[in-house]
Chain A
Amino acid sequence: MTVTLVTLLKILVIYGGLINVAALMTLAERKVSAWMQFRIGPNRVGPWGVLQPLADGVKFIFKEEFTPEGANKFLFRIAPMLSAVPAMLTVAVLPLAGDIAIPKLGTFDLPFFGPTELGGITTNLSITDLDISVLFVLAVSGLSIYGIILGGWASNSKYSLLGALRASAQMISYELTLMLSLLSIVVMTGSLDLREIATSQATIGQWHIWTQPLAFILFVVATFAETNRHPFDFAECEPELVGGFHTEYSSMKFALFFMGEYCAMAVMSGLTVTFFLGGFGVPFWPDAPWFVELPAFLAKTAFFLFLFIWVRWTLPRFRFDQLMGLSWKWLLNLALFNLFLTGLASALGWF
């Protein structure tokens, strides 16, 4: 009973937190871009415009929905969900902090269940811990491509179709680099469990950013491409494709695509931290309590979220053939080379 209640509470807190991070990211994006361009940015709704995402949400709900003629209506409707759901689902295995001991709370007389003893368990701050959470993340985040390609195909618009094709070609190409760069971490840790990977980097010297610098760079580049972010945002490259795969979308369906994208960014930043920056570990303080570990994790993740915005407003966009060339000719070879070296070092017993 306690376990189920704790799981529900964790889902509420972590999933709610993820949605709020995604909402605040839309504000941060506009604020940071404004500061980088010497503008003010949204500042009317609430102090510093912090209520802007809420106002946007209400506006999205009241906007008109329309389906372009010739569109496949069923696919057009479910595509935003297919894009958003996998992105939000990957947060399930993200380890946010270490053990939390819940004290015994006594016996309560619950409706339907009768007298139940609550509390007295130790739990982890992640929705669930799988032995194969790395595979889970890769498999589920790979599914969000279906939403994009179906959304683009179902719209019956040329811009949407081209944007969706570009997005899918780019996402599958960079998925290889993503997986190969993670495999070298898996070789070093000998585990597919994200929590184990995080706890194996107890001190700063053990962070995989030092032991696997090439894998770190490859992984960060691949996350930018996987989330369709600048400088790889060919899915929605506005000068040539208007809005790309979401050209024909409006109202909450449009918003769901973006919720999915921002959630994917948040989870990918969390994964980068878990794989390369010690996860929830606090520098110079091993065995820190969970209420110190959680802010440490969030602070590290916030840096990578800022990096997404920073890069977007700093770099120009690639050309599409350059993007595919970069992935297949450079990153894939480098990732294979890195895995080869890591395997060799592992076989020689260097770590």
Chain B
Amino acid sequence: MLEQYAPILMLLAAVMGFALFNIGLSELVGRRRRAVGKEAAYECGMGSYGTNARLRLSIHFYLVAVLFILFDVEVLLLVPWAVAAKGFGEAGVGMHVFGCVAAFLIVLEVGLAYVWAKGGLTWDR
């Protein structure tokens, strides 16, 4: 079974080789001239405002990330059912299993509605 993955490793080697070759080549042959202010971060042509750009961020980005993790795990839980759904139907338990999955989907939907009602999906408040 695992030999199916060998071509992927070969492709990975080819892709990494391509990327490293291109970056290496341009680092080798690209010319460099140093100048005052050239290496400053670009900010609309004026002198940069402060040297550290790692600013405090809107909390919403973290909220989106947390919500993504929650929903992604739940979607992944649905994958085994999705593959086996036909088999359940052929075994005559399709409706029973779908009942369980529907309950799960409804819980998911209620969770989403709760986040929405709490304003978690509204970007600016």
Binding site for B on A (CB under 8 A): 7-8, 10-11, 15, 19, 60-70, 77, 80-81, 84-85, 88-89, 91-92, 127-131, 135-136, 153, 155-161, 165, 168-169, 172-173, 175-176, 179-180, 183-184, 186-187, 190-192, 242, 247-248, 251-253, 255-256, 320-321, 324-325, 328-329, 332-333, 336, 339-340, 343-344, 346-349
Q: Which residue of A lies closest to B58 (CB)?
A: A165
Q: Summarize A's interface: helix, strand, loop or mixed.
A: helix
A325 touches B123 (CB 8 A): yes
B76 → A minimal CB distance (Å): 8
Q: Summarize B's interface: helix, strand, loop or mixed.
A: helix
Q: Which residues of A contact B8 (CB under 8 A)?
A: 89, 92, 127-128, 136
B65 touches A172 (CB 8 A): yes
Given contacts A66-B39, A336-B105, 11 further A-B contacts (CB under 8 A): A11-B14, A81-B23, A84-B19, A92-B8, A158-B41, A168-B61, A172-B64, A183-B82, A252-B26, A328-B112, A340-B105
B16 touches A85 (CB 8 A): yes
Q: Which residues of B contact A129 (CB under 8 A)?
A: 4
Contact of A336 among B94, B98, B109 (CB under 8 A): B109
A347 touches B51 (CB 8 A): no
A235 → B minimal CB distance (Å): 13
Bound CA span A74–B67, Å: 30
Given contacts A165-B57, A183-B78, A336-B108, contact A65 B32 (CB under 8 A): yes
B53 touches A81 (CB 8 A): no
A343 touches B10 (CB 8 A): no
Would you give 24 A-B contacts (Cβ < 8 Å), ordered by A? A7-B6, A64-B33, A65-B26, A65-B27, A69-B40, A128-B7, A155-B53, A156-B52, A172-B64, A176-B72, A183-B78, A183-B79, A183-B82, A184-B82, A186-B83, A187-B82, A191-B83, A192-B83, A248-B42, A252-B26, A321-B123, A333-B109, A339-B78, A346-B89
